[in-house]
Structure 1
């Protein structure tokens, strides 16, 4: 059966993770998304972890592609990060960086940016080495399975992070609610979920391919979180500054919530 969507879908079609990273997260001078996909992300993760109430034993990351800069602050509070990826190319790209292999994507510009924002930035730390050490497992998952990592059963998480993934996998608002419910089930009672997404997006481009993105606004995501019994602790929205037609988001949202005990 042919897909009626005019755009490809992240978890159903071939997705070039490396090219995605080059488009949206590189240190190249013509990379247009420095403020929106690098500065905003690193600063808000830093702020939300600096509050001091998100910590524990297990953090599970469910994010699109293979980017890592959103996890720098998390690695200060979690020594065991489990990363879930939906396709093999994303797994291979991430493992190349985790294993510090030749040809891995360069993240030095983002670790330097993270250090600049830290109050103790004068005390040099190898942020990338710390994060590599914290990423204990990279696991493939299937969104449609009741247990997404079957036969592996994950331990309950103190924190779940999902950056840009819900936008890409949800074909409609019902999908978004269903997948968010699955992600929140990974949490312990009292656990925290952090979501980053693009508001008003309809597509994003990777190479010559356009991929689907769900269109929603801030009110929608707030209502979904509250509807799932989650309590919102932090929310920041940044209007788009990037000038580029490879993606059409209007703003970036960063929102953190917790599950009642």
Structure 2
């Protein structure tokens, strides 16, 4: 797939983090990505964390944009959540939400949905505050460095969650293997990596700007994880449920794998 005419989220200017969230993750009636971008991730995060096979103290999240909706289920398990961002605007937007600043992005619709999944519909506000308290750091990172958080050295995580980040920063299979390997170095042996991405996609339009997506399929990701010493213990794939021309993916995939070495 030719990516020469498309921008890369972590390399080029023009990424509108607020526009991205409002277009693909809001509660607006005309937001057609709800089943894929909101409900599917939250349902699967709720499942893996409530099942008890993913657990520990420290979770590192490295996700596209300024997203936090998938983390509501994690704060029931992990007491220390560290968020890494490749884009300074996303770093700032996430910090505004955590600190409850005026004009911050609104995620109450997401916390409400997770509260319903947990049978705690009367505790939406508590869920919001619980997550904000659990987030200890929001740190910039750079995949050009072998240690992507350089000069900061983080404790090895019990779990790493990552939504759409590898889709957005990789141009080919070698890039994917290299970046996945660097991400893996932040995870302790026996810890879990959670990846969510879109299959067979080449672009996403955000604020009128076309951004690159790395084109891959389910078997490629499974083989990549196997080569890096991961054992897959859960995988869910959902057929695309919207017809928007803002992006061209075919399916969305959620996968959990344990690091064995």
Gaps of 5+ in 1: none
1:216 corresponds to which residue? 216
1:42 corresponds to which residue? 42
Residue 70 of structure 2 corresponds to residue 70 of structure 1: yes
1:26 corresponds to which residue? 26
2:133 corresponds to which residue? 133
Q: How many residues align?
A: 258
* Separation (CA, whole Å) in 2 of partners of 1:72 and 1:109: 11
1:179 corresponds to which residue? 179
Moved over 3 A (4+): none
* Separation (CA, whole Å) in 2 of partners of 1:122 and 1:238: 26
* Separation (CA, whole Å) in 1 of partners of 2:152 and 2:159: 19
* SS in structure 2 at match of 1:167: helix
TM-score by length of 1: 0.96
Shift of 1:260: 1.5
Shift of 1:151: 1.2
Once superposed, what is the RMSD of the aligned Cα atoms? 1.3
Shift of 1:79: 1.1
* Separation (CA, whole Å) in 1 of partners of 2:77 and 2:3: 44
Query: For each residue in 1:201-223, what CA deviation from the matched residue of structure 2 results, as whole angstroms up to 9, or x when unmatched?
Result: 10001111000000111111111
Gaps of 5+ in 2: none
Shift of 1:150: 1.3
Greater mean deviation of Cα atoms: 193-202 or 4-13 = 4-13
* SS in structure 2 at match of 1:153: coil
Shift of 1:4: 6.9
Query: Where do 1:132-171 residues align within 5 Å?
Result: 132-171=132-171
Q: Cα distance 1:144–1:29, how it changes in 2: closer, same or farther (>3 A)?
A: same
Query: For each residue in 1:60-106, what CA deviation from the matched residue of structure 2 results, as whole angstroms up to 9, or x when unmatched?
Result: 00111101011011111011000000121001100010001110111
Residue 5 of structure 2 corresponds to residue 6 of structure 1: yes
Shift of 1:23: 1.0
Shift of 1:123: 5.3
* SS in structure 2 at match of 1:253: strand
* SS in structure 1 at match of 2:123: coil
* Separation (CA, whole Å) in 1 of partners of 2:121 and 2:150: 44
Shift of 1:53: 2.0
